[in-house]
Chains A and B, each alone.
With several copies, the nearest count.
Chain A
Amino acid sequence: MTEELPPDEPAPSLFEAPPQGEQERMVEAILFASAQALTEREIAERLPHGCEVRVALEALRAHYRDRGVALARVGEAWAFRTAPDLGFLMHKEAVETRRLSRAAIETLAIIAYHQPVTRAEIEEIRGVSVSRGTLDLLMELEWVRIGRRRMTPGRPVTFIVTPVFLDHFGLESPRDLPGIRELRDAGLLDNRPPPGHGLDLGPDSNADDGPEEDEDEDDNRRDQDDMFD
C-alpha cells in the first residue's frame, strides 16, 4: 500500500517503520499463525517497510525462552513450537509416524552427517546397496532432497537434508547435528576411498586429502545455503 504513495510525498514520516515493540508484535502474530517455518525474507515481505526482522526475532526468542511455546530457528527460517518438555501433554496432537526401518534411519543419518553424499558413498558406508524405496521414503517425508551433482565421472546426484528435516529434529542447522564435530575430528566423516582405488595411494594420499576435505566442507556449506533458497 505504501507503494501507491506518490514519490513526491514528504518521505520520512511515511516510510518510518513501526516502533520496535510493534514490529515484535507483528512478527509474533505472523509466526504464530503459521504451521511452517518462515524465512526472514518471507516475514519481511509481510511487514511494513523498514522493519528489522532479525532484531524482532531475537527479542521474541528471548521473550519465549522459558514459556510453554518456544521460538525455534530452523536454518534461515523461524517457527513457534511447543517446548519439548511438554510433549507428554500433547498426546492428542501426536501424529503416529511410520516407524522407520533401520536402513532408512541409517541412510538418513549418513545423508545428514555426510551431505552432500552420493548413493554410492552411502552404500560404501553401510556396506549394502541402498534400496530404491529407502531414498524415496526419505524424500517423501521431505527430509531429504537432491543436491548438486558431484563433479566426478558420471556426475552422480548427491543427497542433502532439508529444512523440514531440521525442523523435525529441532536443529538450527546441520552443524548442530549431535556429535558432528567429534565425528569430523575423528576423521569419520572423511570420504576415504578404499586402498587400491584411485591412482595415488602412497603415503602422500593423506596430504592429498587435506585440500579435498576443505573442498568438501565448502561443498557442505554451499549446499546448506542451498537448502534455504
Chain B
Amino acid sequence: MPEDFPDISAGGGGAEAASVAERMAAEALLVDVDGFEGPLDLLLTLARTQKVDLRRVSILGLAEQYLGFVAEAKRLRIELAADYLVMAAWLAFLKSRLLLPPDPEAEGPSGEELAAHLAYQLERLEAMRRAAARLMGRDQLGRDRFVRGMAQSITMKRRVIYDASLIDLLQAYARVKTRDEYEPLHVKRGVVYTMEQALERLRGLIPQAVNWGVLEAFLPEGWRLDPEKRRTATAATFAAMLELVKDGRAEIRQDDVFAPIMVRAVRRVEHD
C-alpha cells in the first residue's frame, strides 16, 4: 500500500503535537482495557481515532499510538495481558523498520510489507465487524419471522402385508392330510415294551431276588406311571418271568385272584 508512506512520515512529524491528546485518549482506553478483544481490536479502535479511511491509516502513527497506550498503562501500573505486550514489541520493531532506510541485505519481509499486512488485517477485521452487524440486523427467525406454530409431525404407520400364494395353501393342506396317514405307524411302535427287553432285564435282576417280591417291582424305570406304558411293560415282564420259571430260574405265585403276583429266584446251590 504505497499511499501509506506520506501518512507514515506525516504521522511521525505530528507525533510531538499529538502526544498530549494521544496520551489522554490512551488513558481513556485504559479504563476500558477489559473491553477489548485483544491487541488487534485495540489497534482498530486506535486507528479509528485517526479519523481517516482505514485504507489510508498511518501504520507508523498507529504504532506510536499503541506504544503510547502501553507506556501509559505502565505509568498507571495497569497490568496488560501478555499478548498486548507482544504486540507492543512487534510494533516497536515495525516502527524501526519503517523509519530506517531499507537494508537490501536484511532477511525477511520489509517494513512496508509488514505494515501493509497489518493494515490489511485491520481492514479485514473491520469488514467482519460490519458484516456481523449486518447479519444480526437481518430478519431473524423467532424474532421477525416465525415458524408454523402448530407443526404436525408425520405419524409413522407400519403396515405388514402377509403374503401367501395358492400353492402355499394347497401344500399346507396336503401337509395336514398326509400327517394323518403316517402317524399311526410311527406312533404305536414306540410304546411297546417287548418280552425280549424284559427277559434281558430280568436275567440280571432275578438272581438277587432272594425274598419274595411283587412283580411290579421289576418294571423298568419310566414305564411305571403312564398307564399305557405300564400295561405293556407289565405284560412283557410277566411273560418274561414265566420264561424264567420254565427255565427253573425263578418261582412265581399268586395267593388269591387279583392278588399281587410274587416272584423270587430259585436257589440253585441247594440243588447242586
A interface residues with partner B (beta carbon < 8 Å):
1, 4, 29, 32-36, 46, 72, 79-84, 87, 90-100, 102-106, 108-110, 112-113, 124-128, 137, 141, 167-171, 177-180, 183, 186, 188-189, 191-197, 201, 226-229
- In addition to A33-B149, A34-B152, A196-B109, 5 A-B residue pairs with Cβ atoms within 8 Å of each other are A35-B149, A105-B168, A124-B121, A126-B176, A186-B170
A137 / chain B contacts, CB cutoff of 8 Å? 162
A-B contact pairs, 29 of them (CB 8 A): A84-B145, A87-B139, A87-B143, A91-B156, A94-B143, A97-B140, A97-B142, A106-B132, A109-B128, A109-B169, A109-B172, A125-B121, A126-B37, A126-B38, A126-B41, A127-B38, A127-B40, A127-B43, A167-B141, A169-B140, A171-B138, A179-B131, A183-B174, A188-B170, A189-B174, A192-B117, A192-B178, A195-B114, A196-B186
CB distance from A49 to the nearest CB of B (A): 18
Q: How far is the CA of A167 from the CA of B124 in the complex (A)?
A: 26
**By the criterion CB–CB under 8 Å, are B159 and A106 in contact?**
no
Q: By the criterion CB–CB under 8 Å, are A105 and B147 in contact?
A: no
**Whole-angstrom distance from the CB of B159 to the nearest CB of chain A?**
5
User: Does the CB pair B140–A189 fall under 8 Å?
Assistant: no
Considering the chains assembled together, what is the distance between the CA atoms of A17 and B162 in angstroms? 28
Closest to A225 in B: B187
Is there an interface contact between A183 and B173, defined as CB atoms closer than 8 Å?
Answer: yes
Q: Is the CB of A125 within 8 A of B176?
A: yes
Point out the residues of chain B lying under 8 angstroms from A227, CB to CB.
190
A96/B128 contact (C-beta < 8 A), A127-B38, A127-B40, A167-B141 known: no
Residue contact B129 to A106, C-beta cutoff 8 Å: yes
Once bound together, how far apart are the Cα atoms of A103 and B183, in whole Å? Answer: 19
Instruction: Name the A residues within 8 Å of B166 (CB-CB).
Output: 169-171
Roughly how many angstroms separate A223 CA and B149 CA in the complex, as a whole number?
Answer: 32
Q: Which residues of the partner chain A approach B151 to less than 8 Å between Cβ atoms?
A: 33-36
Taking a contact as CB atoms under 8 Å apart, the answer to whether B154 and A169 are in contact is no
Q: Which residue on chain A has the smallest CB distance to residue B144?
A: A87
Does A169 lie within 8 Å of B169, measured CB to CB?
yes
Shortest beta-carbon distance from A110 to chain B in Å:
5
Taking the closest CB of chain B, its distance from the CB of A180, in whole angstroms, is 6
Taking A90-B154, A108-B135, A168-B140 as contacts, is the C-beta distance between A226 and B148 under 8 angstroms? no
Q: Which of B117, B129, B145, B169 has the most CB of A within 10 A?
A: B145
Cα–Cα, bound, A112→B131 (Å): 10
Interface size class of B (residues with CB under 8 A): 35 or more
Picked from B146, B165, B167, the residue with its CB within 8 Å of the CB of A81 is B146
Interface contact A94-B41, CB-CB below 8 Å: no
Q: Is the CB of B147 within 8 A of A81?
A: yes
Shortest beta-carbon distance from B88 to chain A in Å? 14
- The secondary-structure label for the interface of chain B is helix
- In the bound complex, residues from chain A placing their C-beta under 8 Å from that of B139 are 84, 87, 169-170
**Docked-complex contact B158 and A96, CB < 8 angstroms:** yes
CB distance from A122 to the nearest CB of B (A): 10
* Any A CB within 8 A of the CB of B77: no
**B146 & A29 in contact (Cβ 8 Å cutoff):** yes
**Of the candidates B150, B164, B177, which one forms a contact with A99 in the assembled complex, judged by CB atoms under 8 Å apart?**
B164
Are B147 and A33 neighbours in the complex by a CB distance under 8 Å? yes
Docked pose: A124 CA to B179 CA in angstroms: 12
Cβ–Cβ contact B154 & A91, under 8 A: yes
**A34 neighbours in B (Cβ, 8 Å):** 148-152
Q: Does B254 interact with chain A (Cβ within 8 Å)?
A: no
Instruction: Please name all residues of chain A whose beta carbon is closer than 8 Å to the beta carbon of B163 when the two chains form the complex.
Output: 97-100
| Contacting pair B186 A113 (CB below 8 A) | no
- With an 8 A cutoff between CB atoms, is B210 at the interface? no
Most buried by A among B38, B43, B168, B180: B168
In the complex, A128 Cα to B160 Cα: how many Å?
A: 26
CB–CB A229/B123 < 8 A: no
Find out whether the CB atom of A81 lies under 8 angstroms from the CB atom of B145.
yes
Q: How far is the CA of A112 from the CA of B171 in the complex (A)?
A: 13
Q: Is A128 touching B40 in the complex (CB atoms < 8 A)?
A: yes
Answer whether A106 and B145 are a contact pair too, CB < 8 Å, given A98-B161, A170-B166, A179-B131.
no
What CA separation (Å) do A195 and B140 show in the bound complex? 39
Chain B contacts of A171 at CB under 8 A?
138, 166
Q: Which residues of A contact B161 (CB under 8 A)?
A: 4, 95-98
> A35-B150, A90-B155, A196-B108 known; A226 and B40 CB under 8 Å?
no
- CB closest residue in chain B, given A100: B164
Q: Does B120 contact A (CB under 8 A)?
A: yes
Is B159's CB under 8 angstroms from A93's CB? yes
